[in-house]
Amino acid sequence: MTHPLAPYAVSVSHSKGRQYQEPSPGYRTEFQRDRDRIIHCTAFRRLEYKTQVFVNHEGDLFRTRLTHSIEVAQISRAIARALKLNEDVTEAIALAHDLGHTPFGHAGQDALNESMSPFGGFEHNLQSLRVVDHLEEKYAEFDGLNLTFETREGILKHCSAKNAQQLGELGLRFTHNTQPSLEAQLTNLSDEIAYNNHDIDDGLRAGLITTEQLSQVRLFQAQFEQVTKLYPKLSSKRIAHEVVRRMINCLASDLIKTSLVNITNAAPETIDNIRQHKQTLINFSDPIKELNLELKQFLRQNMYRHYRVYRMTKKAKKIVQGLFNVFIDDIQLMPTEHNHKAQQAEAEYGHHGRARMVCDYIAGMTDRYAINEYNKLFDPIELT
Ligand code: MG
């Protein structure tokens, strides 16, 4: 860490540590080690073949969850540095925040949650934590990645009160109404900055939305007018990028400025002051909050409900629910390793345990793996 940290930043000296004690990492900080473990895990590599809005095979130019996670890391590190917060833990949180996502983005997640509703439901955020706490099987001495409390705290953005009760100290903030670290708070909002802006970029490229439609979005229009005035002959591709980069900059700058004022007013001295504060200190200003909301509503109405996206949503639901139903009825249809886990979980926790193992198997699938599995199980011509 080359820049001095604010006294209320996440720091190695005040870390609540790892579940299993390990020797210190030597040349790296504890949070750099977290980041490195995340980059080397299986779920991280699978992010390349998972999508948010588009499906992986729809085109090579669209964001995947991997490029999205890298963009979130980029935005949040810049913000962390400007606020003298811990860049290392911020990067680790950003790279891990989507590890628990199902195939087919929101559609897959809704479908899995529906199928799992009699068995405790499915929360993608909780699943990200489950991946780093339990599901990765790489280390000799523990399951999961044995990450620090601070990285895990940042990964768990939301959680129902019921599930929070099972999580010990990590779940307390959802029942006691306290706040996570500033690093966790800023990564959460960087996620929003990243996906709103890249969805515009991808949406324009896919022809799902047009710049004419976007003129009703004030945040877009202000930058669009500036760019086309400065560069009247610019190609539409370059205009889109120039506008999007300005929008990201505008949102990130506002977040930094507003949060600095909030922090100055709250005058925290330690990270405990941050956690005990009655509300989050990392925030957009009220006018930008309003403009951001307008942008989100536009995307919801014009892009996420576009018929081409909707068709894929329907198909994704069919695949995820089809897989869940067929596996829950007969776990022997799952690959041996998953079948064994389901048998064990059933012996220990009954039908709920069996369902959770089926759910873990499906949640871990990439888009194309899920499509292939579905075809193998339901298409009579597919032989293996
Ligand atoms: Mg995300």
Low-confidence ranges of the chain (pLDDT < 70): 1-3, 53-61, 382-384
**How far, in Å, is the centroid of ligand 1 from the Cα of 106?**
11
**How far, in Å, is the centroid of ligand 1 from the Cα of 243?**
21
**How far, in Å, is the centroid of ligand 1 from the Cα of 242?**
23
Phi-psi region of 146 (alpha: psi -120 to 50; beta: other; left: phi over 0): left
d(C-alpha 223, C-alpha 220), whole Å: 6
Give tens-digit pLDDT for 290-341: 999 999 999 999 988 888 888 888 999 999 999 999 999 999 999 999 999 9
Residue-level pLDDT at 352? 95
d(C-alpha 33, C-alpha 147), whole Å: 8
Residue-level pLDDT at 306? 86
**How far, in Å, is the centroid of ligand 1 from the Cα of 355?**
26
**How far, in Å, is the centroid of ligand 1 from the Cα of 200?**
15
| Residues near ion ligand 1 (Cβ under 5 Å) | 98, 191
**How far, in Å, is the centroid of ligand 1 from the Cα of 68?**
7
**How far, in Å, is the centroid of ligand 1 from the Cα of 271?**
25
d(C-alpha 291, C-alpha 288), whole Å: 5
Give tens-digit pLDDT for 18-45: 999 999 998 999 999 999 999 999 999 9
**How far, in Å, is the centroid of ligand 1 from the Cα of 141?**
30
The HSE-up count of residue 70 (CA atoms within 13 Å, CB side) is 9
**How far, in Å, is the centroid of ligand 1 from the Cα of 383?**
36
d(C-alpha 30, C-alpha 12), whole Å: 7
Residue-level pLDDT at 382? 66
The HSE-up count of residue 331 (CA atoms within 13 Å, CB side) is 21
Q: What is the pTM of this model?
A: 0.95
**How far, in Å, is the centroid of ligand 1 from the Cα of 367?**
17
